[in-house]
Amino acid sequence: MLPSQIATTLLATVILLTGCSSGEAQRTVWVPMRDGTQMATDLHFPSSGSGVYPAILMRTPYNKTLLAEYGRFYSEHEYVVAIQDVRGRYASEGEWQPFIHEGDDGYDTIEWLADQDWCTGKVGMVGGSYSGSVQFFAAVRKPPHLTTIIPNITPAMPFDNMPYEGGALLLGWAVRWTDIMESARTGYELEQKTQAAIRENWYERLQGLPVVDLDRKIIGRQVSYWRTWLMHDTNDAYWTPVNYLEALTSLDLPVFLQCGWFDGGNRGTKMAYVQLSKGGNSNVKMIVGPWIHSDRGSRYLGGSDMGPAAEVDLFDKYRRWFDYWLKGDDNGIMEEPQVQVYLMDSNRWLEADAYPLPNTSFQRLYLASGNDATSRVRSGKLQFGSPASQLIYDEYDYDPGNPTPSFYAYMKRNALIQYQHQVSSRDDILIYETESTTALLQIAGPISVVLYASSSAKDTDWVVTLYGINDENELYPIGLTFGALRARFRKSKSKPELIEPDQIYEYHIDLSHSAITIPAGHRLHLEIASAAFPEYSRNLNTGGHNEMEKDYVIATNRIYHSEKYPSHVLLPVLEE
């Protein structure tokens, strides 16, 4: 089973740092954009030197020279590889404004590459994290010569994964990433700041209000895009250029998705797959392994051996995908199952041509009180079967001045024992557990929660975390199975509606997805709170602007579970 030591190598969706070699590209060129801005681009040519080749494009905000190993790898397989600094970063011209220009700039670069006399006219894209997002930004604009993309470990933008998730600012990520982007200029500095960001306990440092001023506190100056993100706290016109998820339903481009169960971007991979499938795209491949925020497939996760089957040569799969779609090589890649997900603890691959897997049964785990009356007790039950018949609720007081800590923040620091102590000492977390399992329980697929809840405030947050408890009463993660929803965004990300105090509403909360075997004798453990600080920014409960204001109120929040209000977990149980 997964021990807490897995956290030692989690990169926490801060930055992708792979291939930090120092080799020189064969040529650096300036690629013009439609507004005249020039993008610095390193071109890696096959050693044969002459001929006509397909092109592979990578676009990065982290310094193109750090990705030289990718250029060497693909150029050795007869591709011209273009690695580009995005607008305003390193050698490229223009103003750095994350995400906003990547669609148009990607389109223009693709078409420039296709027009070169050494290019066959077919262009593919590859890259992870931010370099995965830029592929979607460009692809939905449908440049004529873009033939396929391989977006690795790619979060969903902008309100489903980052910089907002469920309507709440991903504060921990946003601060750490902005600090790294503004303060680190070399590969060494990037790596050092990333590792330091993971090790540090940010709870106290990010307590200050208003949130907007944290740029001055952490970075030492105002950062324009940080303040723009916070000003635009709804899915408004500012975010329109990066709203690619819905547009994926009309994308018929071949797409190869890859992520890991402990990758903060795996929620985005799942959402992209759903949208592409909804639109009828039949050329979508997805691989999810027991990995972190990386495009490499390793059997080792921190101190845990995830089994020899987890050691996958992903780069060989990427190359074969490109060879099929860019060169027409019939190499068998399309005969392989389209979906491959790794069942942790059983340490084997599950394969199918659809996701969720065809042999998945979505079963309800109902919330129930630990006693028979309206309750402020913190320990309740999770049970299959029918909900309680009478109206029952559990309640707690959420104080933004003392926000509930984040499971994920402790997980990244390899400090889940400390988190367990925190939970036992606080009275603002509701706990629901299953009985010890009597047989293996295999989970594979998306996990969600339906809550019926009320608050004494005009607005509040609902944060839900699901993990395992072993037979020695130790907690362990079953993936990044947590999620949040800001009450005002329960219906729409674009048109928030405050709630009526003490009125019961229905909330649907995404807990991402996972695939794991729960051994006999273990329990599933669900926590409900109204904060997960500092990973999510606090809701001040006032109905105002949570990132621009200082005042807050304490809210009394209730979770209902009965026949009329059947709060439950929707669990993907594998039927084998």
Q: Is the dihedral of CA 80, 84, 90, 92 positive or negative?
A: positive
Q: pLDDT tens digits for 30-63?
A: 999 999 999 999 999 999 877 999 999 999 999 9
Residue 350, beta-bridge partner list: 341
pLDDT greater than 60 at residue 16? no
Q: Contact, 18 vs 60, CB < 8 A?
A: no
Same domain for 551 and 505, yes or no, is yes
Structure confidence by residue, pLDDT tens digits, 334-366: 999 999 999 999 999 999 999 999 999 999 999
| Degrees, nearest 5: CA angle 138-140-144 | 75
**Residue 477 belongs to some domain of the structure:** yes
Domain edge (last residue) among 208, 232, 256: 232
CATH number of the domain where residue 527 is located: 2.60.120.260
Task: Identify whether residues 216 and 252 lie together within a single domain.
Answer: no
Asked whether residue 355 is assigned to any structural domain, the reply reads: no
384, 411, 245, 531 alpha-carbon torsion, rounded to 10°: 70
**Two tokens at 70?**
């990718």
CATH code: domain of residue 294: 3.40.50.1820
- Could you give the percent of the chain with pLDDT greater than 70? 94
By the 10 Å C-beta count (0-12 exposed, 13-18 middle, 19+ buried), 424 is classed as exposed
Indicate if 330 and 437 belong to the same structural domain.
no
Label residue 17 by pLDDT band (50, 70, 90).
Answer: very low
Q: Which structural domain range is residue 382 located in?
A: 361-574
* Residues 55 and 141 reside in one and the same domain: yes
Q: Do residues 106 and 255 share a domain?
A: yes
Has residue 376 got a pLDDT over 50?
no
pLDDT at 323: 98
pLDDT digits (tens, 9 = 90+) for 438-478: 899 999 999 999 999 999 999 999 999 999 999 999 999 99
Do 87 and 156 have their domain in common?
A: yes
Domains in the chain, number: 3
Query: pLDDT digits over 527-546, tens only?
Result: 999 999 999 999 999 999 99
**pLDDT band at 483; cut points 50, 70, 90:** very high
Confidence band (pLDDT; 50, 70, 90) for 196? confident
- Residues 546, 498: contact at Cβ < 8 Å? no
- Torsion of the alpha carbons at 353, 289, 70 and 101, rounded to the nearest 10: 80
Averaged confidence pLDDT in the chain? 92
Residues 156 and 25 in one domain: yes
Does residue 371 belong to any structural domain of this protein? yes
Question: 190 and 46 in one domain?
Answer: no
In this structure, the answer to whether residues 204 and 311 fall within a common structural domain is no
Rounded to an integer, the average pLDDT of 361-378 is 73
Of 413 and 455, which is predicted with more confidence? 455
- For the cut 90, the answer to whether the pLDDT of residue 5 exceeds it is no
Residue 515, in any domain of the structure: yes
114 occurs within a structural domain = yes
**483 in a structural domain:** yes
pLDDT at 231 over 70: yes
Identify whether the C-beta of residue 546 lies closer than 8 Å to the C-beta of residue 537: yes
At residue 374, does pLDDT exceed 70? no
Q: What is the DSSP letter of 248?
A: G
Query: For the chain, how long is the longest CA-to-CA vector?
Result: 79
Checking if the pLDDT of 197 tops 90, the result is: no
Confidence at 21, pLDDT banded by 50, 70, 90 = very low
The mean-pLDDT minimum among 19-28, 131-140, 280-289, 392-401 falls in 19-28
What type of residue is 410?
Y
| 20 and 63 share one domain | yes
- Same domain? 296 vs 274: yes
Strands 339-343 and 284-289: parallel
Model confidence band, residue 371 (pLDDT cutoffs 50, 70, 90)? low
Residues 201 and 144 in one domain: no
Task: Note whether residue 31 is domain-resident.
Answer: yes
| Of 138-147, 160-169, 281-290, the least confident | 160-169
Residue 348 within a domain: no
Among 255, 262, 260, CA closest to 318:
255
In three-state form (DSSP H/G/I as H, E/B as E, the rest C), the secondary structure along 392-421 is CEEEEEECCCCCCECHHHHHHCCCHHHHHH
Q: What pLDDT does residue 273 have?
A: 98
Q: Quick one: average pLDDT of 74-84?
A: 97
Tell me the C-alpha distance between 444 and 343, whole Å: 7
What average pLDDT does this structure show over 416-436?
94
Which phi and psi angles does 49 have, rounded to 5°?
A: 80, -40
Q: Which of 298, 315, 343 is the last residue of a domain?
A: 343
Residue 7 predicted with pLDDT over 60: no
Task: Return the number of other C-beta atoms located less than 10 Å from residue 395's C-beta.
Answer: 18
